[in-house]
């Protein structure tokens, strides 16, 4: 995985130069750049970003863009932390978490959902068709089936093999580092300046059956406030939940911090209060309503995909360690 990331990053950075990433930083320094519209997402899923960008370029909404974008990751069997092909829990079940939030603060979420390939679209329906925010497990599945989704086996041979290998030792160490996750959190600002976000994951590999992480929890894995900006998290969900991470980043921006400073402070909260942070990864990615981006992680290796006028690229984020 690391090698794949390294290769793609180098290929993309080498091909495009740092133009749009530098533009993001330049904006932080007050230089003028064309920062909007913008699509950003955790890690290096350029196909997902490109899909979202296409929606925005056609005049689509940020909400449609993030849903369509992360569906690319959900359908990708090689993405072993999201949707189809995701690593199972320790009982061999693929259980999925996702949430979505729009410019008006509407949000929808599903957690502990099984057998449905596109939890993000179910989350959107929860937002649009129910008076609730979150549906879990059997109830989420029932709701999905009633709304036209179909049951599918999401456990690929590759993911089953990694579970078989894990079972030989079956140490339950829910450590999430740069080697074992690619959860996608995506934020977009459309041509009308509207912000939306989506986050979708199969969660920690080989987790306890029933474990839910930060990704479907509004305020932890994702938060959007169109007056200020938006943030997403990736990494060890338990650590993110304990600090209400994405909400914290947005609130820090509201108080005047730049997106970068807000992400750094949210990571500092984790490293100053939570034991064992040397052994797990958490990263935040944020954008304010002007399209200025911040990204910071505990450990080196976090990166994000950025799409703007001028191209798509993968940008390395800063880290505390
Ligand atoms: N945050 C996700 C979780 O804890 C995992 C990840 O980002 O890879 O479920």
Which atom number of ligand 1 is nearest to the Cα of residue 176?
8
The 10s digit of each residue's pLDDT in 98-128 is: 999 999 999 999 999 999 999 999 999 999 9
Least confident range of 55-64, 141-150, 176-185? 176-185
How many angstroms is it from 198 CA to the middle of ligand 1? 13
Q: Which residue out of 38, 42, 156, 183 is catalytically annotated?
A: 183
Give the residue whose CA is nearest to atom 4 of ligand 1. Answer: 237
Give the residue whose CA is nearest to atom 9 of ligand 1. Answer: 203
How many angstroms is it from 15 CA to the middle of ligand 1? 30
Distance of CA 315 to the CA centre of its chain: 15
**Total residue length of the chain:** 321
Entry pTM: 0.90
Q: Where are the alpha helices (DSSP H) in the chain?
A: 2-16, 19-28, 46-57, 62-75, 119-129, 137-146, 157-169, 237-242, 245-254, 259-273
% of the chain residues with pLDDT over 90: 80
pLDDT for 236: 93
DSSP 98-122: EEEE-TTS-EEEEEEE-S-S-HHHH
171-180: average pLDDT: 55
The third-level CATH classification (topology) of the domain covering 2-319 is: 3.60.20
pLDDT for 167: 86
pLDDT for 79: 87
pLDDT for 166: 87
Q: Which residues line ligand 1 (CB under 6 A)?
A: 81, 176, 181, 183, 201, 203-204, 213-215, 234-237
Say whether pLDDT at 6 is over 70: no
pLDDT for 182: 72
% of the chain residues with pLDDT over 70: 86
How many angstroms is it from 74 CA to the middle of ligand 1? 14
pLDDT for 189: 98
Question: For the chain, what are the domain ranges?
Answer: 2-319
Q: Is 183 a catalytic residue?
A: yes
Relative orientation angle of helices 119-129 and 62-75, to the nearest 10 degrees? 150
The 10s digit of each residue's pLDDT in 33-47 is: 468 999 999 999 999
Which atom number of ligand 1 is nearest to the Cα of residue 237?
4
- Residue 202 token pair: 């199969």
How many angstroms is it from 234 CA to the middle of ligand 1? 5
Query: Binning pLDDT at 50, 70 and 90, where does residue 318 land?
Result: very high
- Across the chain, mean pLDDT equals 88
């Amino acid at each position: 995985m690391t090698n794949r990331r390294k290769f793609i990053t180098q290929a993309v950075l080498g091909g495009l130069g740092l133009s749009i990433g530098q533009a993001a930083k330049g904006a932080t320094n007050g230089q003028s750049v064309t920062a909007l519209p913008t699509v950003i997402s955790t890690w290096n899923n350029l196909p997902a970003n490109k899909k979202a960008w296409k929606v925005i370029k056609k005049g689509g909404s940020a909400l449609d863009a993030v849903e369509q974008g992360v569906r690319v990751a959900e359908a990708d069997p090689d993405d072993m932390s999201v949707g189809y092909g995701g690593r199972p829990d320790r009982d061999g079940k693929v259980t999925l978490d996702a949430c979505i939030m729009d410019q008006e603060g509407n949000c929808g979420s599903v957690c502990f959902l099984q057998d449905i390939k596109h939890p993000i679209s179910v989350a959107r329906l929860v937002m649009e068709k129910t008076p609730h925010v979150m549906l879990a497990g059997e109830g989420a599945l029932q709701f999905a089936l009633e709304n036209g989704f179909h049951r599918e086996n999401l456990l690929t041979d590759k993911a089953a093999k990694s579970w078989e290998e894990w079972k030989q030792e079956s140490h339950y160490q829910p450590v999430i580092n740069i080697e074992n996750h690619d959860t996608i959190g995506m934020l977009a600002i459309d041509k009308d300046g509207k912000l939306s976000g989506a986050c979708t994951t199969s969660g920690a590999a080989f987790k306890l059956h029933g474990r839910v992480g930060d990704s479907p929890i509004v305020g932890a894995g994702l938060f959007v406030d169109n007056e200020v900006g938006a943030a997403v998290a990736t990494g060890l969900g338990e650590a993110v939940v304990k600090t209400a991470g994405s909400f914290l980043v947005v609130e820090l921006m509201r108080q005047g911090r730049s997106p970068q400073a807000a992400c750094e402070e949210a990571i500092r909260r984790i490293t100053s209060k939570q034991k064992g942070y040397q052994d797990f990864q958490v990263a935040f990615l944020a954008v304010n309503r002007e399209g200025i981006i911040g990204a910071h992680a505990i450990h080196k290796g976090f990166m994000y995909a950025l799409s703007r006028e001028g191209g798509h690229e993968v940008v390395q984020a800063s880290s505390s360690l």
